[in-house]
Amino acid sequence: MSNENPDLSLVIPLYNEEESLRELKQWIDTVLTGRTYEVIFVDDGSRDDSWGVIQELAEGDPDHTVGLRMARNYGKSAGLHVGFQAAKGKVVITMDADLQDSPEEIIELERKIIEDGFDVVSGWKKKRHDPLSKTIPTRLYNAATRMVSGIKLNDFNCGLKAYRLEVVKAIEVQGEMHRYIPILAKDAGFDRIGEQVVEHQARKYGSTKFGLERFMNGFLDLLTIGFMSRFGRKPMHFFGALGALMMIISALGFGWIALGKTLSILDGNPSRNITEISAFYVSLTGMIMGLQFFLAGFLAEMTSRNDASRSDYKISTKINRPL
């Protein structure tokens, strides 16, 4: 490949997809004839001959093919992360290696980035060729993600997406966070996020890697990223507020119990011992939990303030004074 940076970088993470790789590469080459581009295959510890096929493709077309092999299976997020690190194109396209994402969509995705000014364009597989065991959890997941993130996308989980190069260099994808890259991009200041209806191809080779455990992991990661995007730099605002609220409610509970006993004594009526009142234990538990939340927020705030990356704010544009 020449030293000049390509117009397009295609990042394709894969796991056990040896049957589809040659056909996918040929399809990409046909669509991008005459363009400057690189195809970055990231083999995520495949157990079949996927890496052998990637080596073959790289030897046959070294100007357009980059191969990266993970030491073991780390997951799709790790594959995308190392692919993003290696990408050099002005526009970065991600897609799956199973031929369910059509390379024909690349041109329109790129146009939306270059001409329409989007930072991120997410594919929307409006008509899917997946079983109900996958489509139903996906719809629930998308609805929950829209509610938490405030980003109005119909298909967060679509692997076919386009980004400005600056976006993929500014975010860190880990765990199962590949589903939430638009949220990571928005949190990094890239909030021009669009959507493009794309064709969903029926799976031609192999079987789906989707499982219910991925849905559960995705939900937990959604809670994590939702919390971090709002309170990552100010944890005391969450834990401290929650703790203070619980302590105030508990204090009101103690006050209510004390007022009740005082009125009973003034009226000359017998009153129960405080330890016999169930509300006393509820208020006591609330006070203890509120104090714990408050202390957790205080400790998290101290840890956050000592983090060197806390003040690592990203600058999108800079104008230098003339020399």
199 near 104, Cβ under 8 Å?
yes
The residue with greater pLDDT, 21 or 214, is: 21
Whole-number percent of the chain with pLDDT over 70: 84
Cα–chain center distance at 97? 20
Q: What is the mean pLDDT of residues 184-194?
A: 90
No. of helices (H) and no. of strands (E), the chain: 10, 7
Parallel, antiparallel, or unpaired for β 120-124 and 161-164? antiparallel
Output DSSP code: residue 201: P
Domain hosting 23: range is: 8-231
7 near 89, Cβ under 8 Å?
yes
118 near 193, Cβ under 8 Å?
yes
* Residue 213 and residue 119 share a domain: yes
99 near 20, Cβ under 8 Å?
yes
* Residue 111 and residue 78 share a domain: yes
- Structural domain contains residue 3: no
134-176: pLDDT as tens digits:
677 778 878 888 887 888 898 888 889 999 999 999 988 877 7
Sort 315 into a burial class: Cβ within 10 Å, 0-12 / 13-18 / 19+. exposed
- Quote the pLDDT of residue 312: 57
144 Cβ partners below 8 Å, 6+ apart?
219, 222
- Quote the pLDDT of residue 213: 62
Q: Which of 231, 250, 277 is the last residue of a domain?
A: 231
Q: To which residue do tokens 């997946």 refer? A: 130
Q: Does residue 233 have a pLDDT over 80?
A: no
Tokens found for residue 251: 């204090």
- Structural domain contains residue 147: yes
* Residue 33 and residue 133 share a domain: yes
Closest CA relative to residue 68, chosen from 19, 12, 25:
12
* Residue 258 and residue 211 share a domain: no
Domains in the chain: how many in total? 2
Q: How many residues does the chain have?
A: 323
* Residue 178 and residue 161 share a domain: yes
Closest CA relative to residue 210, chosen from 253, 244, 179:
179
- Quote the pLDDT of residue 43: 95
- Quote the pLDDT of residue 236: 84
Tokens found for residue 72: 């073991």
* Residue 143 and residue 80 share a domain: yes
- Structural domain contains residue 87: yes
Distance CA(39)–CA(32), nearest Å, equals: 11
* Residue 215 and residue 176 share a domain: yes
* Residue 254 and residue 149 share a domain: no
Taking each helix axis from N to C end, the angle separating 212-231 and 132-149, rounded to the nearest 10 degrees, works out to 10
* Residue 139 and residue 241 share a domain: no
- Quote the pLDDT of residue 259: 86
* Residue 243 and residue 162 share a domain: no
Q: What is the mean pLDDT of residues 259-287?
A: 82
SS (H, E, C) 109-124: HHHHHHCCCCCEEEEE
- Quote the pLDDT of residue 230: 72
Which of 133-142, 198-207, 229-238, 282-291 holds the top average pLDDT? 282-291
CATH number at 88 reads 3.90.550.10
- Structural domain contains residue 175: yes
* Residue 178 and residue 108 share a domain: yes
Q: Considering the chain, what is the average pLDDT of its residues? A: 84
